[in-house]
C-alpha cells in the first residue's frame, strides 16, 4: 500500500506544478469583504486597487502596508488615521498631475504651532482647509469612477501657499504622533510610517511629496478626530466606489459628515 500512496502523492504534486495560470483584469478580481470594524484592511486595500495602474511611488506602497495594519488595530485612533490617510492619498494618486498640498501642510504646521503658541484661530482655519482637501479627494474618486476621461485631462490644482505646501514641520508632527501613541503596537506602526513618509517628503518628484503631506496631516489629533466622526460614511463611500455604485451620492454624504464632524472638533480647540 505504501508505494501506491507515494505514487498518488507524486502524481498529485506533478499535476499541481503543471497547472496553468490564468491572468485576469484587476476589475475581475473578487472583492474581499471583512466583517467587524467599519474600517479594516480589506475596505482600504480594495479602494487602493482603484489606482492599481497609476504611477504609485514605491515608498507609498510601503506606507500603505503599515496603514492597513493600523486599520486592523482595535482602537478608533488607529482606524481613523488609516482611513484619513487612505482617502487623502487616493485623492493625490488619482490626479494625473501632482498639484500643491496646501491644505495638508497647513494643518500640520498649525497643529505643530498650536503646541507651542496655543493659537486656536489658526488651527481652526487649518481644520477647514484640511476638510477642503479631503473633499477634493472625494471629488477625485467620484470622477475616477464616473468620468475617467475627464480626470485624465485634469490640470494641476494650485493654491497660493509657499512652495506649494511641500515644506512643513514633517518630523515634528510625526514625533507628536509617536508621543500620543496609546499602545506599543500603535507606536511601532506610526514609527514605520514615519520612515516611509520621510522618504516621500524628501523625494524629488511632486507626487511623492503630495502623498507624504496627506499622510502627515492624517496623524495630527484634529485630523484623525475629524475623520473619526465620519468613519461610517468613509467606509460606505469607499465600498461604493469599489463596487461601482452611486459614488456621487455616497461622496456627498461623506462630505456632509466631514463638515459636521469638523465643527465638533473645532469646538474642542
Report how far residue 177's alpha carbon sits from residue 171's, in angstroms, rounded to the nearest whole number: 10
Report how far residue 82's alpha carbon sits from residue 160's, in angstroms, rounded to the nearest whole number: 28
Cell of 222: 484634529
Asked whether residue 93 is assigned to any structural domain, the reply reads yes
Asked whether residue 119 is assigned to any structural domain, the reply reads yes
**265 CA to centre of own chain:** 20
CA 152, 154, 160: angle at the middle one, nearest 5? Answer: 150
| Domain span holding position 164 | 57-266
- Distance in angstroms between the alpha carbons of the first and the last residue of the chain: 77
Asked whether residue 159 is assigned to any structural domain, the reply reads yes
Report how far residue 169's alpha carbon sits from residue 116's, in angstroms, rounded to the nearest whole number: 13
Q: Give, as one character, the DSSP assignment of residue 13.
A: H
Q: What is the pLDDT of residue 209?
A: 93
What's the whole-model pTM score?
0.85
Q: What is the pLDDT of residue 53?
A: 60
Q: What is the pLDDT of residue 10?
A: 42
Q: What is the pLDDT of residue 101?
A: 85
Asked whether residue 250 is assigned to any structural domain, the reply reads yes
At residue 227, the 3 state secondary structure works out as helix
Q: What is the pLDDT of residue 153?
A: 76
Q: What is the mean pLDDT of each run of 10 residues along the chain (269 residues)?
A: 44 46 42 60 94 80 96 95 98 82 94 94 97 96 92 71 79 96 94 96 92 97 97 97 97 98 94
User: To 10 degrees, what angle do helices 102-117 and 221-228 make?
Assistant: 120
Asked whether residue 108 is assigned to any structural domain, the reply reads yes
Cell of 99: 498639484
Q: What is the pLDDT of residue 28?
A: 43
Report how far residue 205's alpha carbon sits from residue 150's, in angstroms, rounded to the nearest whole number: 24
Asked whether residue 45 is assigned to any structural domain, the reply reads no
Q: How many domains does the chain have?
A: 1
Asked whether residue 34 is assigned to any structural domain, the reply reads no
Cell of 177: 504622533
Asked whether residue 18 is assigned to any structural domain, the reply reads no
Q: What is the pLDDT of residue 154?
A: 74
Round the CA-based radius of gyration of the chain to a whole number and report it.
Answer: 21
Burial 164-183, CB ≥16 within 10 A → b, else e: bbbebbbebbbebbeeebee
Q: What is the pLDDT of residue 202?
A: 94
Q: What is the pLDDT of residue 100?
A: 77
Q: What is the pLDDT of residue 156?
A: 66
Amino acid at each position: 500500500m505504501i508505494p501506491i500512496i507515494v505514487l498518488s502523492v507524486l502524481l498529485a504534486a506533478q499535476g499541481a506544478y503543471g497547472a496553468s495560470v490564468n491572468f485576469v483584469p484587476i476589475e475581475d478580481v473578487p472583492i474581499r469583504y471583512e466583517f467587524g470594524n467599519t474600517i479594516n484592511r480589506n475596505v482600504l486595500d480594495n479602494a487602493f486597487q482603484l489606482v492599481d495602474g497609476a504611477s504609485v511611488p514605491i515608498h507609498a506602497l510601503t506606507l500603505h502596508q503599515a496603514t492597513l495594519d493600523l486599520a486592523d488595530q482595535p482602537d478608533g485612533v488607529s482606524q481613523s488615521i488609516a482611513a484619513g490617510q487612505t482617502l487623502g492619498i487616493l485623492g493625490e494618486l488619482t490626479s494625473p498631475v501632482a498639484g500643491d498640498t496646501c491644505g495638508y501642510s497647513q494643518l500640520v504646521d498649525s497643529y505643530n504651532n498650536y503646541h507651542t503658541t496655543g493659537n486656536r484661530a489658526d488651527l481652526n482655519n487649518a481644520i477647514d482647509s484640511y476638510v477642503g482637501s479631503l473633499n477634493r479627494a472625494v471629488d477625485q474618486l467620484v470622477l475616477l469612477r464616473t468620468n475617467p476621461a475627464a480626470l485624465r485631462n485634469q490640470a494641476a490644482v494650485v493654491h497660493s501657499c509657499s512652495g506649494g505646501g511641500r515644506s512643513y514641520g514633517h518630523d515634528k508632527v510625526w514625533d507628536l504622533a509617536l508621543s500620543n501613541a496609546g499602545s506599543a503596537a500603535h507606536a511601532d506602526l506610526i514609527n514605520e510610517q514615519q520612515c516611509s513618509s520621510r522618504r516621500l517628503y524628501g523625494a524629488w518628484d511632486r507626487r511623492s511629496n503630495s502623498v507624504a503631506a496627506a499622510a502627515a496631516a492624517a496623524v495630527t489629533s484634529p485630523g484623525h478626530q475629524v475623520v473619526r466622526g465620519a468613519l461610517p460614511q468613509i467606509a460606505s463611500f469607499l465600498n461604493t466606489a469599489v463596487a461601482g455604485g452611486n459614488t456621487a451620492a455616497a461622496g456627498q454624504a461623506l462630505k456632509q459628515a466631514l463638515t459636521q464632524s469638523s465643527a465638533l472638533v473645532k469646538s474642542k480647540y
